[in-house]
Structure 1
Amino acid sequence: MAAVRRLLAFLLLLLQAIAAASSDAQHLLAARSALHDPDGALAGWGAGSGRGLPCRWARVSCANNSTAAIAGLDLSKLSLGGGFPSALCSLRSLELLDLSANEFAGPLPACLAALPALAHLNLAGNNFSGEVPPEWGAGFRSLLALNLVQNLLSGEFPAFLANLTALQDLSLAYNMFAPSPLPEKLGDLTDLRVLFVANCSLNGTIPSSIGKLKNLVNLDLSTNNFNGEIPPSIGNLSSLEQIELFSNKLSGSIPVGFGSLKRLRSLDISMNWLTGEIPEDMFTPPVLASVHMYQNNLTGRLPATLGMASSLSDLRIFANQLSGPLPPEFGKNCPLQFLDTSDNRLSGPIPATLCTSGKLKQLMLLDNQFEGAIPVELGQCRTLNRVRLSSNRLSGLVPPEFWGLPGVYLLELSGNALSGRIDPAIAGANNVSKLLLQDNRFTGALPAELGTLANLQEFRASNNCLSGPLPQSLANLSLLYNLDLSHNSLSGEIPRDFAKLKKLTLLDLSDNHLTGNVPPELGEIVMMNTLDLSNNELSGQMPAQLQNLRLTHFNISYNKLSGTLPVFFDGLQYQESFLGNPGLCHGFCQSNDNSDGKWHTTIKLVFSIASVAMIILSLGLAWFCYKCRIYKMNASELDDEKSNWVLTSFHRVDFSERAIVNSLDENNVIGQGGAGKVYKAVIGPQGEAMAVKKLWPIGVESKRIDTFEAEVATLSKVRHRNIVKLACSITNRVCRLLVYEYMPNGSLGDMLHSAKRSILDWPMRYKIAVNAAEGLSYLHHDCKPPIVHRDVKSNNILLDAEYGAKVADFGVAKTIGDGPATMSIIAGSCGYIAPEYAYTLHVTEKSDIYSFGVVILELVTGMKPMALEIGEMDLVTWVSANIEQNGLESVLDQTLAEQFKDEMCKVLKIALLCVSNIPNSRPPMRSVVSMLLDIKEENKPKLKVEELAI
């Protein structure tokens, strides 16, 4: 009988499990039907041999066997969307729910808090909005891990989550909570291992109760508005491995006690207002690998314990007021890879032991007071790839091996007192792209081996004592865009082969002893915008070929040039370009003040006056003819009002052509440009709004670029959420209309550069940048053949009701084949046009990328591409100049929240890549999109949460 009872009990349990599994299957199918699954990732649910057994379905797991109730549901990274499927709240045995990295939106469900077994809830990387449900603070008794990172949550910071005493992982970072303090009660979560609340608008002081979290492994409070001092109680958290407090407003001294954190691997307290000296015990934790303290106001000497740090690989202490020397044996006892002490007051010699481990990659010691010679040992550091030692007091010879380090791509030694020659061993530096040697005491001739540096893009060696001729081999540097050898003692002629430097944008050979003629071949370097040959001994005539260049800066003063200047250089912009050349003359060259000379001068004056009079008369006649023609065309258009209209649709439309035509009232005009007027048309029974562009009549002289065909040809075939939709075209004999979807928030340019700019906070600007980049990426990479917009600007990026961005105005767009297309005229807008396009009329995708880079600069700086406050410079030049002098943050829009400064700087760096003078250096749009999206990924915690065993 006992055996029978056991059998019956087993069968009863089996029947209950099957019933539970069947019920859970129904809930899963109900959830699937409620969500959006564009890729069909869950299409297999309920099909095939596992039709009634959900434990065999994809992404579903059960606790015991194939017939048990559902315990785990992992639907991460499946592009799922819609609201939260409430049917999931009926899975009573659910222990793990992971919906991360999808596109779910709407409010968070309160019903989840009632699931009795739920231990791990991950909803990160979605678009959930609104407040965290208060019900969550009273439920979730089994919850161990809660991850809501990177959503759109708002309202007060959910302090009630401190009631979930079983929590081990609380991750709420990157949400838009209202400014709130960190609740003191968090100290009661004694089992907590991960506290990740970066970028949550937290303010006030860091509560001292945080020192009660003895099991905490990862503490990330970065990018908030915490003020006051770092609580000394953090030194009690003996389990801590990572501390992230960067980008707050913390002040006071760094507390003593970090040395007791024996498991600490990473510490970042950068970008705060910390003062005082670095505590002696700071570098004593045995496994401490990374320390970031940059951009504070720290003072005093570096502690001696730095030299004994055994695990340190990354030290960044730049932009403080630290003084004294580096420990003499720093690097000898640790695997140092990255060292940045820039912008301090450090002194003494550079330690010879920095690369003892053979792992040092980046060495930035610029803007200090280091002295003495560059250690010979650094010449053996083959791992180095970035070296910046500028603006110190270094002297003596540069070790030959140091010149030839094979991995270095940036070698910056400027602003020191280094001497000797540039060693021929530099031929070994085959990866160097920037060689910056200006403001030193280098002597001797430039080695011919410089011409072997195939990756060299920028070479500056001005203000030295270099002599001898310019090496012919420099003409082999096909990637070189900046060559500055001014203020030296170079002699001989300028090599004619320099014409091979097709990417050169700046050539400065001023203040030397160069002789001979100015090579006419320089006129073939069409990308050049700065040419300075002043203060030399050049002779002969001014080459007419230099008229081919479009120079923003040109100076050939104080030489020995003679003869007549080409007419092109008579303009005011060149009036100071030819000073100190007594043999040069404008117009007619005269040897003395004789009567013939005066007669010729008089003839020239009379001829000039007559020419001006003829021009004025011609302009008057042209204006009169133009007004007559406009009058006739308007009359013709009015007479043709009753003619037949032809509607050509490219999407389904629910209106007639007459409804559109009847809306073309001057009271409905919302814009006007070079192609025509734009009207707002409200039509149909639902009052749908459309934008109608009425193009100028064919033949109007001032509107000579006809955009109708290009607009229709482009927009009728493209389909993308970030490209404005062309609904239809409507034409008759004299009038042509284009009907688009209406964008209620107008253009980015109007929004950004008006009183409405305060509406565009940084998250919205970032979203606009990503949207526009995705639209251009579609044109460049997904259209066959690719489409180049040719007029990318903020006024051609339109904003919908949710401030989503769409690229518009394709009137000058062109499809391109395998190579660049040559245009007959320049299309584009001032401040946005890529330099090579303006000179060569060759258009490629790189032209659009430059223009888009300018748009990003507008978003980051809040300034127009041509603004009064930046004078005669364009935005690209102004940004570059300010960054060079004052750093990245100096150009950021100061009206935006400081908490986004780090993200803005990252976007700014992408913009600088896009506006590179060298087209091939600009990233493709697909990469631009990827880099923009990666910024959000980079803001996630440095230690992966899943690596912290719970």
Structure 2
Amino acid sequence: MGFAEKTLSDFRFLLFISVILSCYISASATIAEANALLKWKSTFTNQSRSSKLSSWVTNTSFCTIWYGVSCNSRGSIERLNLTNNAIEGTFQDFPFFSLSNLAYIDLSMNLLSGTIPPQFGNLSKLIYFDLSTNHLTGKIPPEIGNLRNLKTLYLHKNKLNGSIPFEIGLLTSIQDIALSNNSLSGPIPSSLGNLKNLSVLYLYQNYLTGVIPPELGNMESMTDLALSQNELTGSIPSSLGNLKNLTVLYLFKNYLTGVIPSELGNMESMIDLELCENKLTSSIPSSLGNLKNLTVLYLFKNYLTGVIPPELGNMESMTDLALSQNNLTGSIPSSFGNLKNLTVLYLDQNYLTGVIPPELGNMESMTDLALSQNELTGSIPSSLGNLKNLTVLYLDQNYLTGVIPPELGNMESMTDLALSQNNLTGSIPSSFGNLKNLTVLHLDQNYLTGVIPPELGNMESMTDLALSQNELTGSIPFSFGNFTKLKSLYLNYNHLSGTIPQGVANSSELTSLQLAINNFTGFLPENICKGGKLQKLTLDYNHLEGPIPKSLRDCKSLIRARFVGNKFIGNISEAFGLYPDLDFIDLSHNKFHGEMSSNWQKSPKLGALIMSNNNITGAIPLEIWNMTQLVELDLSTNNLFGELPEAIGNLTNLSRLRLNGNQLSRRVPAGLSFLTNLESLDLSSNNFSSEIPQSFDSFLKLHDMNLSRNKYDGRIPRLSKLTQLMQLDLSHNQLDGEIPSQLSALQSLDKLDLSHNNLSGLIKTTFEGMNVLTYVDISNNKFEGPLPDTPAFRNAAAEALEGNKGLCSNIPKQRLKPCHELKKPKKNGNLVVWILVPILGALVILSICAGTFTYYIRKQKPHNGRNSNPETGENMSIFSVDGKFKYQDIIESTNEFDPTHLIGTGGYSKVYKANLQDAIVAVKRLHDTIDEEISKPVVKQEFLNEVRALTEIRHRNVVKLFGFCSHRRHTFLIYEYMEKGSLNKLLANDEEAKRLTWTKRINVVKGVAHALSYMHHDRTTPIVHRDINSGNILLNNDYIAKISDFGTAKFLKTDSSNWSAVAGTYGYVAPEFAYTMKVTEKCDVYSFGVLILEVIIGKHPGDLVSSLFSSPGETLSLRSISDERVLEPRGQNREKLLKMVEMALLCLQANPESRPTMLSISTTFS
């Protein structure tokens, strides 16, 4: 054998040995991998439940037999797919080192817990990594950034927290990332912008904060980007417009602000764009009309303004378009009629105007159309009847007029139809009977007339039918008996008559039946609670009669029931049963008899029990006094007798207690004093005796108390703590003694009746300062002396004073003997001298001390709100500005009151806008004449005291006065800056007036009322404004109204040399000021009445005020006076405005004492 042949033979032998060894080593390695997996499996806590893993046993071919395990050509494990196997365990013993060849891991939809170990970052061959839908916690390890071959990373639906590692931006091969549905926080890493191959990024449903990195616009391969349901802020980066391949962009439910970038219109591949539920502003970009492939556009629940771009009508692929709950204006584009594929169009809750385009009837695929809560006018297009697939049509809460098109009866797929709260007229179309699938029909709060079509009974799927608050006549159709699925029937507030058909209650699903305020007669249907589900029943103010049906007595589902104002009969203890969920029941003004049942205690949720004006007899059951949840108890005007027990003190939640008009007797129990939440108490017309308990002084929330027509004797208790009491009636009792001086503490008292008692003494000083009091009756007592000099007594009628032999008055109409001033006897002259000389001496000494002190203070270095100009050394004064403002800052920010900063000019000042470092303020620089006026010693100190007091005021509806600065060169007041300016300027501008909707105007009136009430009644010393007018009502960007110049108006007038004599602006001044020259709270009330009319009319009411009272027969029609620049008020706004007109008329009464207080006005509006 030659050398060459021997060498070749040796090589072959070595190669053979090498292969044998390699196979042996490989076999040993793969066995080690299998054993490592078995060891990990042994840590699972539920091995027995994972039947698929039963194939994992020793001495089997794991590459082919083991479930979820795959190997490469060398027999090494490279795929592990154990998804959805209910594996319950951790990664603590996962064989990272043994499985170094893993390229595919799918352990999703299991019960894995614990943290994600950083060792996963060592699996360098990993391409697919899915741990989603488990219970993993902790942070995402930054070592994952080492997986440079990774294409898919799914960690969604776990409980991961912490921030997203910046290192994820190193996964240059990555294509899909899903980290959604976790508790991740912190910012989105800008490093993600490096991932050029990334096509899917899901980060939604976390707690991510910060801005959206503009670098995300670099991910050119991106198709799906979902960052929704986080806490992201800032604006949407315009760079996202670079993502030409993007088909899905979800940014909804964040806190994003700013505008929608017009660059988003460049994303030509976009299919689904959802930016809803953020704080986006400005208008909708017309460029979105370029997105021809877009099928879904959700922009609802933002603050978008402007008109809807007609270009949106070019998006022919669109199926879902939702722009609701924004501030959009203008009309609905007729181009929407081009959207043939559109199935959902939501434009509700905006400020859209104009008519509903007839072209909307071309959208044949439409299923949901919502245009409600806008300001749409005109009639409902009959073309909507073409929408055969339409299931939902919401047009409610607009200003639509005309008749309901009968063509709407062609929409056979319709399930929900809402046309309520409009101005629709005419009759209800009988064609609605064709809508067999209709479940909800709301036509309430319109002006519909005629009878209810019997054809409506064909709508056998009906569950919710509302026809209330119309002008419908006739009877309820018998065909309503076909409504076997009906849950709610609202027919209240119409002119319906006849009996209630038995079939109305055929539905076993009926939960709400509202028939109040009609003319129904006859008996209630026997099966009214057939299904045992009836919860709400209102029958008030009809002509119904007869007994309560047995089905209603056994109706345990009742929650609220009103029977008031009918002719129901029966024994009240037998007519009603046990109602475990009952919250409110009113049985008043009927003909029930018998005794009260103790079973009412078995209604543990009952908050209001009202049984007044019946024929109920007997004693009040003791069980009633254990109903601690009661808020209102009214048993008045019956024939109840007996005495009240101490247990009445258990009703500590009671707000309203009326037991008047019965035969209750004896002493009022001390336990009554525990009812500290009482706001209204009426025990009148009973037989209560003994003294009125002093403990009544504990009713701190009481507004009215009537104890009249009883047998109370003794003295009137102090009652000094009842500071909210507005009406007090103690008449027709046997009270004696003098009126307690503490009664003057009742500064909210409006009406007082003490007549027909045995009260005595002088009353002149008792009522001093009670200027809120408007009505008083002290007749038939034993009072003497002159009447108090208060409005209530000056205007009291003779009948309210008669029967007091000792009273005197110099007012002829009061028919009392005249009062003569007592002449002081000469013998008392020395006494007068002895009294006056020490007083005058003390005053002189006090003046000298005050002058010396003032001189000393002026010589001191300024401090505590008093500064000096560093340049000139001239003195100035700043009060209560919290150190925020300095004289020099004001001068510099206004460029020394340069006209470019001027925002308003008045009779006594010019107003400048000052942009300071920490705030924007309004600076009211006083004219020189005013400066001179308030520099007078007689004025200056009072003015400064007033300013000090006003700077302490904190109220939502009062413009904040920061302070006052007095300088040799400039004198000014510093106010809160109000962006919208004055109300009179807004009303004078047609465009601004249109934006001032009825809702906003109502809120303006309410805000002014609350502010005046606060200043008149909630301050230790009441502050009268003196000049309420639309120029002094300022509005901020949110249209919140605030009163300016509170308390300073009396000083800041230039048209009078006597500053104390000036009060108000012409056209707003109360008439009594011309002859009394005295300013009271009632002057503000009069001005407020003028203001109400001005807000409603849109301009000063002018001669309307005087004509209203010079022509008593003339009435005010809301429609005739309301501002035509704003659409006619409807629904709740109309009701609120009617109340405001009524209140305005009360405020404008010529007699100031006949005007209400601002407290009562504010309470009414609340």
TM over 0.5, shorter chain: yes
**Partner SS for 1:273:** coil
Equivalent residue number for residue 126 of structure 1: 302
Residue aligned with 2:671, SS: helix
One of 518, 530, 548 as aligned partner of 1:344: 518
How does 1:617-628 map onto structure 2 within 5 Å?
Answer: none
Identity of aligned residues (%): 28
Structure 1's unaligned 5+ residue stretches are 1-13, 30-37, 62-66, 594-599, 778-788, 814-828, 830-852, 872-885, 929-950
Q: Within 1, Cα distance between the matches of 2:670 and 2:744? A: 24
User: Do the aligned residues in 1 keep the contact of 2:448 with 2:470 (CA within 8 Å)?
Assistant: yes
Please say if residues 953 and 960 of structure 2, whose CA atoms lie closer than 8 Å, have aligned partners that are also in contact. Answer: no
Shift of 1:533: 1.5
Match of 1:314 in 2: 488
- Sort the Cα spacing of 1:352 and 1:436 in 2 relative to 1 into closer, same or farther, 3 A: farther
Task: Tell me the residue number matched to 1:514.
Answer: 711
Q: 1:496 to 1:554 in 2, by over 3 A?
A: same
Q: Show CA shifts across 1:650-683 (max 9, x none).
A: 4999874697766799x998458xxxx6423489
1:578 aligns with 2:778: yes
- 1:274 maps to a residue whose letter is L
Q: Is the 8 A contact 2:734 2:757 kept in 1?
A: yes
Residue type of the alignment partner of 2:323: L
- Following superposition, the deviation at residue 392 of structure 1 comes to 2.2
Aligned CA distance change for structure 1 residues 918 and 434 (closer, same or farther; 3 Å): farther
1:874 corresponds to:
none
RMSD over aligned Cα atoms: 6.0
Correspondence for 1:475: 673
Whether the aligned pair in 2 keeps the contact of 1:660 and 1:681 (CA below 8 Å) is no
Q: Residue 515 of structure 1 contacts residue 536 of structure 1 at CA under 8 Å; is this kept in 2?
A: yes
Which residue matches 2:588? none
CA distance 1:72–1:266, change in 2 (3 Å): same
The CA deviation string for residues 14-63 of structure 1, in whole angstroms up to 9 with x for no partner, is 9xx9999999999999xxxxxxxx995543564799897574662499xx
Equivalent-residue separation in structure 2 for 1:200 and 1:122 (angstroms): 18
Give the total of aligned pairs.
781
SS of the residue aligned with 2:384? helix
**Correspondence 1:142 to 2:317:** yes
Corresponding residue of 2:471: 297
Counterpart Cα distance in 2 of 1:158 and 1:308: 41
SS of the aligned residue for 1:363 comes to: strand
With over 3 angstroms needed to count, the CA separation of the structure-2 counterparts of 1:281 and 1:402, relative to structure 1, is farther
Change in Cα spacing, 1:376 to 1:202, as seen in structure 2 (3 Å) is same
Match of 1:83 in 2: 259
Whether 2:805 is the aligned partner of 1:606: answer no
In the superposition, relative to structure 1, how do residues 559 and 225 fare at CA in structure 2: closer, same or farther (>3 Å)?
same
> Which residue number in structure 2 is paired with residue 897 of structure 1?
1127
User: Which of 501, 516, 526 pairs up with 2:723?
Assistant: 526
The answer on whether the counterparts of 1:309 and 1:334 sit within 8 Å (CA) in structure 2 is: no
Output the CA distance in 2 between the equivalents of 1:91 and 1:283. 52
Aligned partner (choices 495, 502, 509) of residue 700 of structure 2: 502
Corresponding residue of 1:691:
923
Contact 1:892 1:904 in 2 (8 A): no
Indicate whether 1:706 and 2:941 are aligned: no
* 1:679 corresponding residue in structure 2: 910
**Which shows bigger deviation, 767-776 or 278-287?**
767-776
Q: 1:547 aligns with which of 744, 757, 773?
A: 744
Provide the C-alpha distance between the structure 1 equivalents of 2:903 and 2:225, rounded to a whole number of angstroms: 61
Match of 1:798?
Answer: 1034
- Does the CA contact (< 8 Å) of 1:387 and 1:412 recur in 2? no
Using a 3 Å threshold, how does the CA distance of structure 1 residues 69 and 657 change in structure 2: closer, same or farther?
Answer: closer
**Using the alignment, how far apart are the partners of 2:396 and 2:473 within structure 1?**
23
In the alignment, the residues of structure 1 paired with residue 1103 and residue 550 of structure 2 have an alpha-carbon distance, to the nearest angstrom, of 51
Residue identity in the other structure for 2:624: I
Contact kept, 8 Å, 1:889 with 1:901, in 2: the verdict is: no
Kindly tell me: are residues 603 and 301 of structure 1, through their superposed partners in 2, closer, same or farther at Cα, counting changes over 3 Å? closer
For 2:212, the equivalent position in structure 1 comes to 43
2:673 match: secondary structure: helix
- Cα distance in 2, alignment partners of residues 575 and 44 from structure 1: 69
Task: Report the Cα offset of residue 476 of structure 1.
Answer: 2.3
Aligned pair in 2 of structure 1 residues 242, 723: CA closer, same or farther (>3 Å)?
same
1:164 and 2:339 correspond: yes
Contact in 1 for aligned 2:760/2:784 (Cα 8 Å): yes
Question: How far does residue 124 in structure 1 lie from its aligned partner after superposition?
Answer: 2.3
- How far apart are residue 194 of structure 1 and its match? 0.8
Instruction: Flag the 1:70–1:471 CA change in 2: closer, same or farther, 3 A.
Output: same
Question: What's the secondary structure of 1:205's corresponding residue?
Answer: coil
> Per residue, is there more strand in 1 or in 2?
1
- Decide whether aligned partners of structure 1 residues 494 and 307 sit closer, same or farther in structure 2, where only a CA change above 3 A counts: farther
Instruction: Give the letter aligned to residue 778 of structure 2.
Output: F
Residues 742 and 860 of structure 1: is their aligned pair in 2 closer, same or farther, counting only changes over 3 Å? Answer: closer
Q: Secondary structure at the match of 1:112?
A: helix
2:460 equivalent to 1:261: no
Residue number in structure 2 paired with 1:233: 407
Q: Does the aligned pair in 1 maintain the 2:432–2:455 contact within 8 Å?
A: yes
In structure 1, what is the Cα distance between the partners aligned to 2:1158 and 2:555?
Answer: 31
* TM-aligned CA deviation for residue 298 of structure 1: 0.9
Question: Unaligned stretches of 5+ in structure 2?
Answer: 1-151, 153-172, 178-190, 199-206, 231-242, 574-596, 788-802, 808-816, 834-838, 860-868, 1011-1021, 1049-1063, 1065-1087, 1107-1114, 1144-1156
- Give the drift of 1:767: 5.6
CA shift digits 1:841-874 (9 cap, x unpaired): xxxxxxxxxxxx999989987899x999999xxx
Greater RCO, 1 or 2 (C-alpha within 8 Å, sep 6+): 1
Deviation, structure 1 residue 81: 3.0
Deviation track 1:189-222 (CA, whole Å, cap 9, x = no partner) reads 2211011122444444333332222211111112
For the residue of structure 1 that corresponds to 2:308, the secondary structure is: coil
Structure 2 equivalent of residue 387 of structure 1: 561
AA aligned opposite 2:972: L
Alpha-carbon distance in 2 for matches of 1:213, 1:658:
61
| Distance in 1 separating the partners of 2:681 and 2:460 | 48
Q: 1:171 to 1:458 in 2, by over 3 A?
A: same
For residue 468 of structure 2, give the secondary structure of its aligned residue in structure 1. coil
| One-letter amino acid of the structure 1 residue matched with residue 325 of structure 2 | Q
Query: Do the aligned partners of residues 234 and 669 (structure 1) sit closer, same or farther apart at CA in structure 2, a change above 3 Å counting?
Result: closer
Q: How does 1:730-879 map to 2 (within 5 A)?
A: 732=967, 737-739=972-974, 743=978, 746-748=981-983, 750=984, 759-761=992-994, 763-764=996-997, 766=999, 798-799=1034-1035, 804-805=1039-1040
Cα distance, 1:199–1:523 mapped onto 2, change above 3 Å: closer
| Contact 1:391–1:416, Cα closer than 8 Å, also in 2 | no
Q: Which amino acid in structure 1 is aligned with residue 608 of structure 2?
A: L
Larger Rg: 2
Q: Give the aligned residue type for 1:475.
A: S
Contact kept in structure 2, 1:657 and 1:730, CA below 8 Å: no
Normalising by structure 2, we get a TM-score of: 0.56
- Larger deviation, residues 191-200 vs 332-341: 332-341
Cα distance, 1:477 vs structure 2: 1.5
- Mapping for residues 109-124 of structure 1, pairs under 5 Å: 109-124=285-300
How far has the Cα of 1:130 moved from its partner? Answer: 3.9
State how far apart, in whole Å, the 2-side matches of 1:508 and 1:50 are.
Answer: 77
Shift of residue 356 of structure 1?
5.0
Kept in 1, the 8 Å contact 2:422–2:1130? The answer is no
CA contact (8 A) 1:18 1:68 kept: no
C-alpha deviation, 1:369, in angstroms: 1.6
State the 1:485 CA deviation. Answer: 3.3
Q: Distance in 1 between matches of 2:642 and 2:1120?
A: 40
Amino acid at match of 1:577: D
State the Cα deviation string for residues 638-661 of structure 1 (Å, max 9, x = none): xx9976377986499987469776
Give, as a single letter, the amino acid of the residue that structure 1 aligns with 2:348: A
Quick one: distance in 2 between partners of 1:862 and 1:486? 44
Verify: 1:326 aligned to 2:500, yes or no.
yes
Whole-angstrom distance in 2 between the partners of 1:316 and 1:58: 44
